Amino acid sequence: MSTLDDKLPALDEEQFSVPAADAFSRMHAQHKPRFLLLYGSLRQRSYSRLVIEECSRLLERMGGEVRIFDPTGLPLPDSCEADHPKVKELRDLVTWSEGQVWCSPERHGSMTGIMKAQIDWVPLSLGAVRPTQGKTLAVMQVCGGSQSFNAVNQLRVLGRWMRMITIPNQSSVPKAFLEFDEAGRMKPSGYYNRIVDVLEELVKFTLLTRDNSDYLTDRYSERVESAEALMQRVNQRSI
């Protein structure tokens, strides 16, 4: 038995909530899970794009609805207004999605600028809508040489910053130029199997969480902040 004082004087009791199993919704959404796929290279034979295209086929086989965003023509962040057609296309797809896959080449030990630019165009909030919060994310990278995890580690940081549910599994494909045939299809290998593993996990997490996204991301601090803001408005009106 704890000997600590159980009083919590700093706690706003009205906004405090005990997590409960029966607060979770049962899976009731009937539409296919929606996935947005992003890649980080504009090369004609882009291995990150080829991985994403293979992911698209697999996710559709697993019952998902898939959209791939082509970053060609996307301007640099803040170089134009957000009503640019490519920016609007990207933001609309992010809002539409329930889960995402990000795949970047590793360049100079990091994700590519093309990959980062896409994510930088997506704000944490669009009016009252938070387009990425509570949505699932799988991260992948392709390597020109030996296997590395620099890009996926950075993508994880971004996913967390965007308030996404980044699944535990991930994929890193070394010497990617050896893993695809002339038609651009990935050859059978342990690396291919790992991608299947990642996407299986992504679909499972998406089905598990998409109906409960609002509950999972409901925060005590934001409830307190909202209550305080409401109180200020009420007090102003009463003056």
Identify the CATH number of the domain in which residue 81 sits. 3.40.50.360
Reported as a single tens digit per residue, the pLDDT across 155-200 is: 999 999 999 999 999 999 999 999 999 999 999 999 999 999 999 9
The answer to the question of residue 219 being in a domain is yes
- Total domains, the chain: 1
Per mean pLDDT, which range of 39-43, 145-149, 221-225 is the poorest?
Answer: 221-225
Q: Is the dihedral of CA 219, 221, 222, 226 positive or negative?
A: positive
6: in domain: no
User: What digits encode the pLDDT tens for the residues 58-88?
Assistant: 999 999 999 999 999 999 999 999 999 999 9
Q: Where does the pLDDT of residue 228 fall: very low under 50, low under 70, confident under 90, or very high at 90 and above?
A: confident
Which residue range forms the structural domain that includes residue 231? 30-238
111 located within any domain:
yes
CA distance 116 to 108: 14
Confirm whether 11 is domain-assigned: no
For the entire predicted model, the pTM comes to 0.85
Residue 63 lies in a domain: yes
At 23, list the tokens. 């607060």
Distance CA 142, CA 145 (A): 9
**Does pLDDT of 99 surpass 70?**
yes
Q: Is residue 96 part of a domain?
A: yes
For residues 116-142, average pLDDT: 91
* pLDDT per residue as tens digits for the range 1-43: 556 666 757 767 787 777 777 777 777 778 999 999 999 999 9
Name the residue among 60, 64, 74 with its Cα closest to residue 96: 64
Judge whether 173 lies within some domain. yes
For residue 23, is it within any domain? no
The CA–CA distances, whole Å, from 95 to 13, 35, 78, 123 equal 34, 11, 20, 11
